[in-house]
Structure 1
C-alpha cells in the first residue's frame, strides 16, 4: 500500500514537472505575442478619462477571460481529434503575425495623416461634454476584446503546438496555465502602464524635491515606454511569426538550425533570428499585398 502511494506521488511529481517545463517553453514561444498584446491593449485604453482607465482595463480583461474560455476547449478538441491541423493552424497564425506587423508599419508610414486624424477625433469626442462617454468606452472595450481574441488565439495555437503529442491532462494543465498567466500578466501590466502618468503627476506635486524629480522622470518616461513596447511588439511579430513559418517547413527549418549550429555562439543565434525576421517580413508583405488586392477587387465589384 505504501509503495503504491509513493509510486502515485512520484507520477504526480513527474506530471507536474512536465507541466512546469512545457509551460515555460510555451511562455517563451508566446513572448512575442505577449509583447504585442501588451502594447496594443495599452494603446486601446489610451484616451479614456483617468478615472475610467482601470474600469475599462477590467472590462477588457473579463472579455479576455471569456475569449480564452472559448479558445482553450476548442484547442483541446483540435489537438485530440484533428492533430494534423495543428501545424497548418500554426502556419496560419505565424503568417497572420507577420501580416499584422507589416500592416502596422505600412499604416504608420503610408497613412500617418489618417491615423493622426483618428486619434485627434477620438480625443475631441472624449473631451466633448455632449458626447456619451459610456458609449465611447463600450466601443473601445469591444474593439480591444476583438483584438484580444485574435492575439489570444495565436497564443493558444502556439502553446498547442508546444504540447502536441503530450497526454491530454498535460495539455489541459499547460493550456489553462498559459491562458491564466498571459491574461493576468498582460492586463496587470496594462493597468500599471496606464496609471504611470497618474503616479508621476502625484509624485511631482509632493513636497519632497526627490519625489518631485521622480514624478517628472516618470512623466517623461511613460511616452517612451509606450513607444518601446510598440517597437518591441512589432519586432517580436516578425521574429515569432517568421520562426513558426521557418520551422513549419521541416527541410528549411533543419537547414537553418544546421547552419546556426555550424556558425555557433552569438553569431549563430543572431543569424538564425535574422533569417526568421527576414522570412517574417517577406511573408507579411506577401499576405498584405494579397489582402490589399482582394480589397481592391471587391471594391470594384461593389
Structure 2
C-alpha cells in the first residue's frame, strides 16, 4: 500500500494502542505487586489497628455502631490520603531524616495512651458502661463525636506507622509510582481493617437473628454467639490497649536504633535470636513473641513516665496544696 493509506495508518494506530495497553497492564501488575509487598510488611500494625478500634464502640447503641465505624473509616482515609501520604512523600523526597523523629513522637503518644488506659483500670478511674451509656443518653451527638475523634486520633498514629513501613518497602520507586502504590495500600488496608471491625461488632446481631431460627442447632449456635460476643469484645479491648503499648515501644526501639543509639534495640534483637535458635520448630513464633514483649516493656515504661508527668504528679501536687 502507498504511504498515507488510511487503512495502514489505522493498523499502525491499533498497534500503538495495543502496545500502550500492554505497558499499562504491566505497570498495573507492578503497582499491585509492590502494594501487596508493602501491605504485607505492615501486617503487624494492621492487626493492631483492627484490635484497637472495637473498644471505641463498646457501650454504644447497636443501631449506631455501623454509623460510627463508617465515620471512623472516613477519618482514617482522610488521615492516610490527605495528610500522611503527601507529608511522607515530601519528607522522603526532600528531608528523609525527619521521618524517624516524627514517627517516634507518634510512638510515644501510643505508649502514653496505652499506659493511661492501664493506669485508669488499676486506679479505678475508668468509666463503667452505665456511665458511658448515661453520657450517650445525655448528649448522643456529642458523645459520638468524642468517640469518633478519639478513634481517628489513635488511627492517625497507627496509619502513619503503616504508611511509613509501606514507604520503606517501595523507597526505590519513582515519586509518582510511590504515590500510587501508597494510595492503593491506604485504601486496601483501611477497607480490610474496618470491614473486619464492622463484622466483629455486628456478630451479636447476627447471633440474635440465628437464635430466632426454627432449627435447634442454628438457634443454639446463635445464642452461643450472643453470649460470646461481650467476652470477645472485652478481649479485643484488652488486646487493643496492649497493642498500643507494643507498637509504640517498637517504634521507639527502632527509632533510636536508626538515630544511632543501638544498645536497646540490639539487646532485644539479641534475645529474639537466642530464643528463636533455642526453641526449634516454634523458634519463629517465640522469637517474635520475645521481640514483642521487649517492645511492650519499653512502651510501658515510656508510657508510665508520660502518664506520671501528665496525671499523677499534677494530681498529687493538687492534693498537697489542699492539705
TM-score (norm 1): 0.79
Give the drift of 1:294. 7.3
Supply the distance in 2 between the matched residues of 1:60 and 1:269 (Cα, whole angstroms).
30
1:105 to 113, 118, 122: 118
Supply the distance in 2 between the matched residues of 1:64 and 1:8 (Cα, whole angstroms).
30
Aligned to 2:309: 290
Q: 1:58 to 1:177 in 2, by over 3 A?
A: same
> Is 1:199–2:206 an aligned residue pair?
yes
1:90 to 73, 89, 103: 103
Supply the distance in 1 between the matched residues of 2:132 and 2:266 (Cα, whole angstroms).
48
Give the drift of 1:295. 4.9
Supply the distance in 1 between the matched residues of 2:287 and 2:295 (Cα, whole angstroms).
12
Supply the distance in 2 between the matched residues of 1:124 and 1:8 (Cα, whole angstroms).
56
Give the drift of 1:162. 4.4
Q: Which range is displaced more, 193-202 or 11-20?
A: 11-20
CA RMSD of aligned residues (A): 3.2
> Is 1:40–2:55 an aligned residue pair?
yes
| Structure with greater Cα Rg | 2
> Is 1:242–2:268 an aligned residue pair?
no
Aligned to 2:9: none
Q: Is the 8 A contact 1:156 1:179 kept in 2?
A: no
SS of the residue corresponding to residue 164 of structure 2 reads: helix
Q: Is the 8 A contact 2:45 2:158 kept in 1?
A: no
Give the drift of 1:58. 2.7
1:180 to 176, 187, 204: 187
Give the drift of 1:145. 3.3
Q: Is the 8 A contact 1:243 1:276 kept in 2?
A: yes
Looking at both structures, which has the greater relative contact order when contacts are Cα pairs under 8 Å and sequence separation is at least 6?
Answer: 1
Aligned to 1:123: 133
SS of the residue corresponding to residue 277 of structure 1 reads: helix
Q: 1:208 to 1:12 in 2, by over 3 A?
A: closer
Deviations 1:274-298 (A, max 9, x none): 2222111111111211222675599
Q: Is the 8 A contact 2:68 2:148 kept in 1?
A: no
Could you list the runs of 5+ residues in structure 1 that have no partner in the other structure?
A: none
Q: 1:215 to 1:16 in 2, by over 3 A?
A: closer
Give the drift of 1:230. 1.1
Q: Is the 8 A contact 2:111 2:300 kept in 1?
A: yes
Supply the distance in 1 between the matched residues of 2:192 and 2:130 (Cα, whole angstroms).
30
Aligned to 1:143: 147
2:233 to 214, 226, 231: 226
Q: 1:74 to 1:146 in 2, by over 3 A?
A: farther
Q: 1:76 to 1:240 in 2, by over 3 A?
A: same
Aligned pairs, how many?
287
Q: Is the 8 A contact 2:135 2:143 kept in 1?
A: no
Q: 1:120 to 1:169 in 2, by over 3 A?
A: same
Supply the distance in 2 between the matched residues of 1:51 and 1:23 (Cα, whole angstroms).
32
